[in-house]
Amino acid sequence: SPFDTLNSLSSTVSAFDSLDTAYMEMSKAQRHEARHLVKEFVKGMVKGRQFEVVSASGELRSCFCTITRKLDTLKVSTGEKDKRIREIQLSCVTDVIAADDDRAVSLNLDTEESITFRLPDMEARDQLASCLGLFANQ
C-alpha cells in the first residue's frame, strides 16, 4: 500500500546502509575525493548548467538544468530565461543510466517516462550519473 510507511522506511534505511557501507569501504583519500566531487557538482548544479537534452523526436536541444538546495528536485528548461520549467522530483527517478558508448545519461521515471541528457565529455557524464543516482536513492 502507498501508506505502508514501515516498508518505505526500511527501504530508505537499507539504501542508506548500502551507501554507508560503500562509503566506509573507501580509503580516506577516496572519501575525500568523493566528497569533493559531490560538493563541486552541487555548487555547479544549484547555480545551473547547460546540457543537451534529447527530444522525443531524437534531436538534441540545449537545456538549462538546476537542482534545488534540498537536492530533491531537478529543474530543466530549454534556456536560462525560459519560463517553462520541467520539475523532476528525484524521488521519482527509478534508474540513472550512463551509456557506455557515448556521453548520455538517461533518467527513467516512475511515470515510465525517460529523459536523456548528453554531456560534453565522459567525466561530466559520470559525475552527473553518480550524483543524480546518489540523490535519487535518498
Q: Mind listing the pLDDT tens digit for each residue in 68-103?
A: 999 999 999 986 666 789 999 999 999 999 987 789
Structural domain for 31, as ranges: 5-136
> How would you label 10-44 residue by residue, b for 16+ Cβ within 10 Å and e otherwise?
eeeeeeeeeeeeeeeeeeeeeeeeeeeebeebeeb
Q: Mind listing the pLDDT tens digit for each residue in 58-72?
A: 899 999 999 999 999
Q: Mind listing the pLDDT tens digit for each residue in 94-132?
A: 999 998 778 999 999 999 999 999 999 999 999 999 999
Q: Do residues 78 and 63 make contact, with C-beta atoms less than 8 angstroms apart?
A: yes
In CATH, what number is assigned to the domain containing residue 124? 2.30.29.30
Give the integer Cα–Cα distance in Å for 79 and 34: 30
In the chain, the number of structural domains is 1
pLDDT at 40 over 80: yes
pLDDT at 19: 54
Give the integer Cα–Cα distance in Å for 90 and 138: 9
Helix (H) or strand (E) holding 46: helix 28-47
Q: Do residues 125 and 105 make contact, with C-beta atoms less than 8 angstroms apart?
A: yes
Q: At residue 67, what are phi and psi to the nearest 5 degrees? A: -125, 145
